Structure 1
Amino acid sequence: MQQPAPVYTDPRTVYLHIPFCTNKCYYCDFNSYVLKGQPVRDYLDALEREMEATVKRTPPAAIETFFVGGGTPTVLLPDQMEHFLRLVRTYFPDRADDCEFTMEANPGTTDPEKLAAMFEGGVNRISFGVQTFDQGLLERIGRIHNVDDVYRSLENARAAGFRNLSIDLMFGLPGQTIGQMEDSLDKALRLDLQHYSIYALKIEENTLFHTLYERNQLPLPEEEDELGMYLLTMEKLKANGYAQYEISNFAKPGRESRHNLAYWQNRSYYGLGAGAHGYIGGRRHVNIKGITPFIEATRQGLPRLEENPVPREEAMEDFMMVSLRVLEGVSDADFRAQFGVSLTEVFGSLLDRLAGEGLLEADGYRWKLTERGLLFGNEVFAEFIGTLS
């Protein structure tokens, strides 16, 4: 039997949110704001106040993973980047020897000077939001980088010393064909990166794409074509030596995103910045989203929009929903380590039903998605919502 995932009473994972972007992509519903005219230094000062209050309330142990998301964190100027990373080092100084420190980046926003500041500040993994290698599609989804920016940014990152690089790709984009997806995959794989995240487009409310969709003005691929893109993705990544370790993520051995795995193991984590989510001491919180309201709130204390305890039954449901995303599945040992009871004791009848429907399968003491379940993951996860309440 495999050893259970580590269970800590204190968080070993830190998420930090930089909410600024050069522009708003047409599909994006993240808590992000166009950079021009924003009080960046005031925001960083507010982030420092939140860090100080947070570590005073919950002192950190040795941190195993950091993730800086956005927005586009790499829109920070080199001196702002140095200042930001110095703050992180100040308030989270104790780090595991193999600490993973990821920063999201947009191609074209990482010149050598900024990359040097990132590398010297402790960042050792970059995730570039490429989305597609088709220039026409990039323009159609509101991205402002071009394909040449992708190659130049990766070349600069390697020259700066980065050896753990990932890119995001999307499929199911408006007007996208299976042929275009295959071309993007081929170009991406020729880069020989350590990690690829490949997601289906999701139409979110409060986005331009949602408005166009409601007007029937968004020419999305047919469902069978979108499924074909996903099947093609799995086939090509596997053929090129990448393990699919999660529904949308592929990595070379040992290069999985350990930060995201902490989420999928339902572990505690610090969430810092405007609109950030956190999970500490059995309580989930979400921060105030607006830039100015966030800044002002940090002058009074922690900038919480909501903070609520997670009942044990809900935590069990959450555990199943996130852990089943990982293709390795969820083991009885993992579940028992967190909750003190066996997985089958709590969810046995539901697991048996989903297995009977061909969506889950038992592999020793571990339950995981079948090949069919992989294609209907959201439906499987939804089965656990409210099961115990």
Structure 2
Amino acid sequence: MNNEPVTIIGGGIGGLTLANALSHYNIPFELYEQAPKLTEIGAGIGLTEAPISIFEMLGLASRLRDESTRLGRVCFPDKQLNIRRKISAEFEMICIHRARLIDILKSTLPANKIHLSKRLVAINTHENGTILRFEDGEKISARTTVAADGIHSTVRNQLFPRIPIRYINQTIWRGISSSSLPDKFQNSYLEIWDEGLRFLALPFEENQTFWLGIKPAPPGGRDNPETIIDDLLDLFQNFHPDLKELIRTTGPVLRNDMADLGTQKRQWFKNRVVFLGDAIHATTPNLGQGGCQAIEDAWCLAKLLQEYPDDFQTACQRYQHLRQKKVMKIVADSWRFGKASHSKNTLFHYGYRFILTHAPEFVIRRQEQFLNRLDYLQKI
């Protein structure tokens, strides 16, 4: 790569992980982020063993574990917290505040390589590089560009405008409660399906709980910030008082329409531009894998750029070949899971819920093993 820096567009989890991975392989980088500071809007994020293993290789796992909560099992209770099923976690699983994760990722990076308040507005690409134009008027030339700018990627919208965002017609609320779960659910991840709604909860930092509520809804809905807590309490009025207490003792609540980029075939690179994470394979959050897959992308891509320093096309081809099968299965499975959880087809909905609560344990283990496999990286 002639020691020219890799230009990263986007300073979220994927972009910052890539910057760390490039540094690990002594590949220079310059990162451009549209926000005035590196942080994450949101609440918590769950990470499974695969991305934690990558953090291990980056030398960040010790701090990651120190600042997160370990989850030991998954529980499937009903709305009154009667446990239908519980499964011990075979692989490591943690929950951490997104802002803390960003702090960990940026802590090892040189500040002069991170450029803030740099909103990309245009990109022109050719076989030898790209011209990037920012809102503040600056224009730069880049030999290699990585688009890590999320589901609403400016880069993708300009280079691959025919890849549409696919809405699942479900809305998700996220919040952090100052209340904790009942003792029987300590260190447990809760997944509740009832009354056509979903409620998820994870222990979070000291005596706090990260929770998520999901209901069917068309995209574009808005909440009244003055009444949002009361509105959510009304939505989940028939749920256990301990769950409603989580909502009642929550500060800011974040709302998002759930969406992905579908599973149709696409190329992950064009000329000297390659995509990473949600910018090319966004998934609905039903399996909690969006951030995990961006981290895997980052490590895989950095390793291949190091392996093929003078052959960008081969590096990109191998990157897509190694990553797309796993990623697209996750996108499809997550979409299917979300549809089943809120299906109006009673047979389909309860059939899927029966599988969750009664399927042989090896079926659950097989999915867990699939999500945490990193053996494909040995092919590099």
The TM-score with structure 2 as length reference comes to 0.27
Normalised by the length of structure 1, the TM-score is: 0.27
Which structure is higher in RCO with an 8 Å CA cutoff and minimum separation 6?
2
> Greater share of strand residues, 1 or 2?
2
